[in-house]
Amino acid sequence: MSYPKSPGLDESCRLTGFSIGGDEYVGNLGSILIAAIAILVTLLLIGLAERKLAAVGRREMQLFLFIYILVQICEIFTIGLFPLNKTVRIAFTGAHLGLILACTWILLINAIIGYQLWEDGTLFSMGMSVFSASMLCIGTAYIALDTGFSWTGYFNSSLNGQNRSIGLYITYQLLPLIFIVIYFILTSILVLRILGELRPMIYLTSAAILFTIGQVFNYVVSIHICEGSSGKLNGAFFETLFTLTSVVMVWVFWSSITEDDWPTPENTLP
C-alpha cells in the first residue's frame, strides 16, 4: 500500500508540483498517473480472476483487489496532492488510512483461505471478510478524522510538537505491516510444507521485495529525489509504482497455486 508521509518526517523539501492554471498546482503528478494506471491494471486482474472459476479464494482475491482500487482512488487526492480544500483533504486522508488497513487485512484473510478452514466464496466467508474489514476501516478513519477535525478533542495532543499520533501509528503503520508479514509467513508455509512447491515462492518473494523497495523509496530516498527534481517528484512516485508491481506479483502467486478448472466427469447416464 502507499503510506502517506507521517507528520514529523523530514519536510525540508516540499513538492511544488505542476501548475494547472492560476494559483492551483498538482503537487505529485507522477503519483497520480501511476495510481490511475494501477486502477486499470487491477481491474484487469479482477477480470482475469473471474475466469478462474474453480480457483480457491477467487472472490476473496477480487475483494482484496477491489479495496486496493479504492486505496488508489484516495491516493490520487492525498499523496497526489490534488488541489482540494482542507476539509475534503482530511476526509480523503481518513478514508485512505482506513482502506489501507482494510486492504492488508483482506490480504491476510486470503492467506488463511488457502488452508481451507472454511469454504471460500460463500456468504459466510465474504460477509465475515467485508464486515471485519469495514470495522477496521471505520475505526481507523474515525481516529484520523477526529484528529483532523478535533471532533472530541481527545487526539488534540497529537497536533502539537512533532505531531505524533500513537493511534494512527498503530492503525496505519504497525498493523498493516503485521498483517503483511503474517500473510507472507502463512503462505510460505502453505506452499513449502503443504503443497511442496518451490516456484510459487519466487512470485511471493518477488512481491515482498518489490513492496520493500517501494517503502525504501518512500521513507529513505524520497528527500533526495525531491531535492534532485526541485520539488517536482518524490519517493511516493516510485513507492506507488513498486507497490503496484507487488500487488501484481501477489496475484500471480495466487494464480500459480490455484486450479483454473477441474475435470468434468463424463455423463454415464443413458
Q: What is the pLDDT of residues 91-104, one digit of tens each?
A: 999 999 999 999 99
Residue with cell 503462505: 187
For residues 115-130, give the mean pLDDT: 94
Decide if 227 is inside a domain. Answer: yes
Decide if 224 is inside a domain. Answer: yes
Residue 11 is predicted with a pLDDT of: 53
Q: How far apart are CA 23 and CA 15, in angstroms?
A: 15
State the angle between helix axes of 86-113 and 58-77 in degrees (0 to 180), rounded to the nearest 10: 160
What does the pLDDT look like over 180-212, one tens digit per residue? 999 999 999 999 999 999 999 999 999 999 999
pLDDT at 228 over 90: no
What does the pLDDT look like over 4-27, one tens digit per residue? 444 334 456 777 767 666 666 777
CB neighbours (10 Å) of residue 252?
16
| 172 Rama sector, left if φ>0, alpha if ψ -120 to 50, beta otherwise | alpha
Decide if 264 is inside a domain. Answer: no
Which residues lie closer than 8 Å to 175 by C-beta, 6 or more apart?
101, 104, 136
Could you give the percent of the chain with pLDDT greater than 90? 60
Q: How far apart are CA 4 and CA 197, in angstroms?
A: 36
CA-to-CA dists, residue 203 to 27, 109, 196, 245, 249, angstroms: 34, 19, 15, 11, 6
Decide if 269 is inside a domain. Answer: no
For residues 219-248, give the mean pLDDT: 90
Q: How far apart are CA 33 and CA 31, in angstroms?
A: 5
Average pLDDT, the chain: 87
Residue 124 is predicted with a pLDDT of: 96
DSSP 131: H
Q: How far apart are CA 34 and CA 76, in angstroms?
A: 9
Decide if 139 is inside a domain. Answer: yes
Residue 227 is predicted with a pLDDT of: 85
For residues 70-85, give the mean pLDDT: 86
For residues 133-154, give the mean pLDDT: 93
For residues 257-263, give the mean pLDDT: 58
Q: How far apart are CA 52 and CA 178, in angstroms?
A: 29
Decide if 180 is inside a domain. Answer: yes
For residues 131-157, give the mean pLDDT: 92
For residues 18-42, give the mean pLDDT: 83
Could you give the percent of the chain with pLDDT greater than 70? 87
Q: Which of 70, 74, 36, 31 shows the shortest CA–CA distance to 217?
A: 31
Residue 22 is predicted with a pLDDT of: 65
Q: What is the distance of C-alpha 64 from the center of its chain?
A: 9
Residue 30 is predicted with a pLDDT of: 84
For 71-80, 164-173, 250-259, which range has the lowest pLDDT when averaged over its residues? 164-173
- CATH number of the domain at 169, please: 1.20.1070
Cell of 264: 468434468
Q: In a 3-state reduction of DSSP, which class is residue 210?
A: helix
CB neighbours (10 Å) of residue 85?
7
Is residue 215 exposed (0-12), middle (13-18) or buried (19+ Cβ within 10 Å)?
Answer: middle
Cα distance between the two ends of the chain? 56
User: Domain count of the chain?
Assistant: 1
For residues 57-71, give the mean pLDDT: 97
Decide if 97 is inside a domain. Answer: yes
> Binning pLDDT at 50, 70 and 90, where does residue 60 land?
very high
Q: Which of 126, 144, 169 shows the shortest CA–CA distance to 89?
A: 144
Decide if 4 is inside a domain. Answer: no
What does the pLDDT look like over 150-177, one tens digit per residue? 898 888 777 776 667 888 889 989 999 9
> Binning pLDDT at 50, 70 and 90, where does residue 79 land?
confident
Range of the domain at 206: 18-258
- pTM more than 0.85: yes
CB neighbours (10 Å) of residue 228?
12
